[in-house]
Structures are given as structure tokens and as C-alpha cells.
Chains A and B, each alone.
Chain A
Amino acid sequence: MEKVLMKGNEAIAEAAIMAGCRHFFGYPITPQTEVAAYMSKRLPQVGGVYLQAESEIASINMVLGASSAGVRVLTSSSSPGISLMSEGLSYIAGCDLPAVLVNIQRGGPGLGGIQPSQADYYQATRSSGHGDFRILVLAPNSVQEMADLTMKAFDLADKHRMPAMILGDGILGQMMEPIVLSAPEEQKPAEKPWAATGTGGTRKKNIINSLYLQPDQLERKNLERYERYKAISESEAMYEEHLMDDADVVLVAYGATSRICKNAISMARSKGIKAGLIRPVTLWPFPEKALANASCRAKSFVCVEMSMGQMIDDVKLAVKCSKPVYFCGRTGGMVHSPEEILKKIEDANGGVINEHCI
């Protein structure tokens, strides 16, 4: 297959079109604006609709409307914009609607900065909006995966009738790599008999709604939804293992950070330290079984994040505090050097206990 050189943000956009998405609603924000720019050029060429909304609040509600009408729809933003979308995300989840959104994270809190970050992990996996709900979170670590996981996100969102987020960062969004764009196999678009497209006078009306004033009804709805989440946790978790067969020190990292970890692991191995990597590809569901299995033989874990330590909570939960979990973080838009990760690997291998250990 032919390789093309693409920016991460553009790969997401083209992949969405290949997945059958013909509707994009968004609002400009650095460092993800290329998604919108690409869509504004490409969608009219394929009979689609690009619309620049007045805000992220409007974007996500346009997504809710288009999804209610049964089409595949995308929006894209970066950290502060995703905060504005949290209201709409909660409604989309409460209405059991599929939708795909992209967060190319930048440093925070507040206006923060425009350099890469992974500080929205909590927001993506814990608190995307008010109420009891989950969203699928996919974390690519290459431009190729930006494309592949975007296509997968549409399928997963339709299959489970819930929002799916591509959680990238400013490095992945902005960097260029050669990729192969392979269209998904021709498949029948998901049937959506629940969609609000007009009754045609032939069926009862469809109502898309998240309001349940009777508490017992609302509880039942939430219990049903969490039953589905439980099944998803068991079936949809994805991860990559790197040099894990004999690893004493297990690095855990996702996204761009995982690639720096691989360099650090090579350096560690050349020094005789058996280091390996578990890279969660889905952040929700979190691949906790892979980590639990690794905890049987590993000596220690090092969680590497461009944040003050967010995914580390999931790592600790997954290994059930059976082994020390070290933390190696940069924040505010700063990116790790392989050397500083190596230093942490050496600490973890030598059993030096620091304040991040359990």
C-alpha cells in the first residue's frame, strides 16, 4: 500500500472521512486547528458538511443533533475547549448517542499553554461531565494510530452508543509521519432505528432524551448503562507490550510519552537493566489485567506522564499496591528526555524508595 506523509491532526480528519463521517462541527483552538482546516477543505469535496460553530458549547450540541439524526459526526478541540464540551458530553452519554471527539491536549490548568501535555487524563477517564457515565478513550502514539484509532472510534461509538474520544497531545497532532491509509472493509452502516429523522408517518415517534424525573427510573437507566460499561471493560481494553517477557522494571506510558520510554528502555537494557513497557491504547477501559499480570513477576513500575500524575492512580489500582509504583512526570508543556526516564528506571531497579512509592 502507498505511504503518505501526513500531520497527525490531518490523519485524524482523513481517517474520519474514510470511516464515513460527513459532518464536522468545531471551533478553532491550538494545537488541533488543522483538523478543522482539513475538514473545511475536504468535506465539501465528498458531499459533507463542515460548520464552524460559535463556541465549543455549540459544537458539541451540533454533534448531539447530528448524531440524533443518525449520522457519523466528529468534533475536535484542545483542553480548554473540551472543558466547554463537558456539558454536551454528559447529555450525549445520557441520551445513549454515539459521537467521536478529539482532544489534542495542551498544558493547563486555565488557559495554560499551547505545548503538549497529558494533563487531561482525569478529565477524559473520570470526569468528562456531570453524572454517572463513561466515555471510550483511545490514545494513539503515532500518526498511523491517529488514523487507525479514529476509524475504530467510529465503530466503537456506534456499537456501544456512547461517546468515544481520541486523546492525543500537541506532539502527535503536529508531527508528520509516513502512514498507510487503509479504508475499513466495506461494512453495512450501523442501523439506527432510534434516530430522530422524522417518523415518515410509519412508526411511533422517537424521543432522544436524558431527563428522568422519577428517581427509580433514572437509577434503572444508570444501572443498565453500567452493565454495558462492565461488558465493555471486559472486551474492549487494548494495550501494547514492549520487551515485557523478562521485564523487572515495567514502564507504563501512553501517547507520545510511550515513544520516549522506548528510547529509555534501550538505554536501560544496554546497562543491563531489564526494563519493559506496557502502553495502554485504551485509557477507558483501562487494560488493568495486563498490569495485574505483569505485577506477578515485575519488581517495580514506573508511570511516565506529561502531567503531575494522573494515570498513576489507575496503575496503582491495577497492580493492587503489590509492587512499588514510581512516577516520572513533566508538566506545563515540558517533554521528558530519555535520560530523565532512565534515571527513574535505575531508581526503580535499585529499590530506592521515594515519595511516589507505595
Chain B
Amino acid sequence: MSIVFDRPKALSDVPTHYCPGCTHGIIHRLVAEAMDELDIAGRTVGIAPVGCAVMAYDYFECDMIEAAHGRAPAVATGVKRAKPESIVFTYQGDGDLAAIGCAETVHAAARGENITIIFVNNAIYGMTGGQMAPTTLPGQITQTTPYGRDVVSAGYPIRVCELLSTLEGASFIQRVAADSVKNVREAKKAIKKAFQVQLESRGFSLVEVLSSCPTNWGLTPSQALDWIRASMIPYYPLGVFKDKSAKSKGE
């Protein structure tokens, strides 16, 4: 019998700590598949964030660094500048990337830093128990917005892809979702493309993946996937926001 489905080599053979129904596992797998298909795991250095993916260093079979909250793009910059031949990616959540690490993210993009960021947006702080994130939707109930996010006092969510795509240094920016088979396949293509952009030294690449948090959203896993479709995608439209390679090919 031939094997038709197996664990990617770049994904460690260990149980993860993620909650049932959370899509981190799917996104980890996509990153590992991309590393396998491009045959880059041996020269890849991954940077784990602070947040639910804090222990991602245990799940990827490549050299890993665990960064301080929000600082992964700066750490990645240090690695890439020291070893330009290595492939460097960060794996960050919304609080890590768009709140405490906003400066590091924006400036890594502005410099056109030749790194890849996998940005997992689930509109909530998962690890600390479900507080408001910079991407929490208007009206969304969280532990720290118990009456729903009131934009008058708590402000508006940040659309990261739209923001970063205005920067010259950003080379490839795409938003995808992990809610359905079709979108997961699209997410895989985007993640692989982001690594390819780095391999070709085209500069900064980021893939935002809309992800679920059944535990802190208070939904079942399937309801959570529905909520991505019904609530998140309308606010965070999917698509390619920046692709310098497509532009140069088109001209």
C-alpha cells in the first residue's frame, strides 16, 4: 500500500497544546508543508511569538528562537542580517504583531526586510484567556470588552494587510482564512509563495491567516469556522494586497 497522507517532515512528531478546534494546527501544518516542498527546513530559522503559539519552537523541525512579546520581527532581522543565506520566518498572533509589536512589524516591512511573517489573526488574546485584541471586531464581546467593543472608547480594529501594503518595502502581502478546505488550500499557496519571495530575495512577505478561537469565542469548533465566514471575512476581506513580483511580470 502506498502512503497518501503523512506528517510533513518539518512538523515535529509531538502532541500540541492547542485547544480542540483551534486552527493553529492547520496553519502549522501548512508552514511545514511549504518548508518540505521548497526543501528549506535545513536552513530555516523560525521565530516563535508570545501568545498561543509561544511553544511553536517545539512543533517545527527547524532551528527556533522564542522571542519577547512583539519583538519577533526584530529578532528575525538580527538573524537574517547575520546569516543572509538562512530562511527566516516569524509566526505571530494579533496581539503580538499588531499591538505590542506594531513598531517592529511596520519597520521590518518598511525596510523591506527579507523575512516571512505568518500572522495568525483570531481577533482575540487567546493565551491570556480572551481579552480584546487590536483586531477584535466592533461590538465583539471579550473578557475586557464585556459589553462589546465600543469603538468610541476602545478604538477600531487594525487591518494589517491594508496598512502594510502602503509601504514600499513590502513585497508580498496576502490575507487568507483557515475556515474551509478551499480557503486552506489557498492559504497553503500563499504561505509557499511568501517563502518563495524570500528565497528570491524580493523582500518582506506577510501572510495573514484568519483563524478560529472556539474556546475564547465561546463557540463550538464548527460554529467558530462559521463565525470566521460571517463576521471576520466581511471586515477583513481575503485577497492579495501587494505582490511586487506580479506587478513586475505584468509590465
- Given A55-B103, A209-B57, A200–B78 Cβ distance below 8 Å? no
For residue B101, give the distance in angstroms from its CB to the closest CB of chain A: 10
**Is A57 in the interface zone, CB < 8 Å from B?**
yes
Across the interface, name the chain A residue whose C-beta is closest to B68.
A91
Residues of A in contact (CB 8 Å), total 40
Interchain CA distance A197-B45 in the complex, whole Å: 7
Chain B residue contacts of A65, Cβ below 8 A = 47, 65, 74-82
Interchain CA distance A20-B181 in the complex, whole Å: 51
User: A198–B75 contact, CB under 8 A?
Assistant: no
Interchain CA distance A205-B11 in the complex, whole Å: 12
Interchain CA distance A202-B138 in the complex, whole Å: 49
Of the listed stretches B36-44, B212-220, B229-237, chain A binds B36-44
- Given A87-B68, A196-B65, A198-B43, A73–B78 Cβ distance below 8 Å? yes
**Is A53 in the interface zone, CB < 8 Å from B?**
yes
Question: Which of chain A's residues 164-207 have a Cβ closer than 8 Å to chain B?
Answer: 196-202, 205-207
**Is A51 in the interface zone, CB < 8 Å from B?**
yes
Residues of B in contact (CB 8 Å), total 36
User: B82–A88 contact, CB under 8 A?
Assistant: no
Chain B residue contacts of A206, Cβ below 8 A = 63-64
For residue B87, give the distance in angstroms from its CB to the closest CB of chain A: 8
User: A201–B79 contact, CB under 8 A?
Assistant: no
Contact among A54, A67, A91, A205 with B63 in the assembled complex (CB-CB below 8 Å): A205
Please encode chain B, from 55 to 92, with 1 for each CB lying within 8 Å of some chain A CB and 0 for all others. Answer: 10110111111111001001111111111001100000
- Given A25-B78, A64-B78, A69–B64 Cβ distance below 8 Å? no
Chain B residue contacts of A201, Cβ below 8 A = 41-42
**Is B107 in the interface zone, CB < 8 Å from A?**
yes
Interchain CA distance A106-B104 in the complex, whole Å: 27
Interface centre among B43, B62, B82 (most CB of A within 10 A): B82
**Is B54 in the interface zone, CB < 8 Å from A?**
yes
Interface centre among A55, A64, A87, A208 (most CB of B within 10 A): A208
Interchain CA distance A200-B66 in the complex, whole Å: 20
Interchain CA distance A206-B80 in the complex, whole Å: 16
User: B63–A207 contact, CB under 8 A?
Assistant: yes
- Given A54-B104, A69-B45, A198-B86, A63–B68 Cβ distance below 8 Å? no
Chain A residue contacts of B79, Cβ below 8 A = 65-66, 68-69, 196
User: A205–B104 contact, CB under 8 A?
Assistant: no
Contact among A23, A59, A208, A210 with B64 in the assembled complex (CB-CB below 8 Å): A208
Chain A residue contacts of B78, Cβ below 8 A = 23, 25, 61-69, 73
**Is A324 in the interface zone, CB < 8 Å from B?**
no
Known: A65-B82, A208-B66. 8 other contacts (CB 8 A): A23-B81, A23-B82, A64-B71, A65-B79, A68-B45, A73-B78, A197-B45, A206-B64
Top 5 A-B pairs ranked by shortest CB distance? A65-B78, A61-B74, A198-B43, A201-B42, A196-B63
User: What are 6 A-B pairs at a CB distance below 8 A?
Assistant: A65-B65, A66-B79, A198-B45, A199-B61, A209-B64, A210-B66
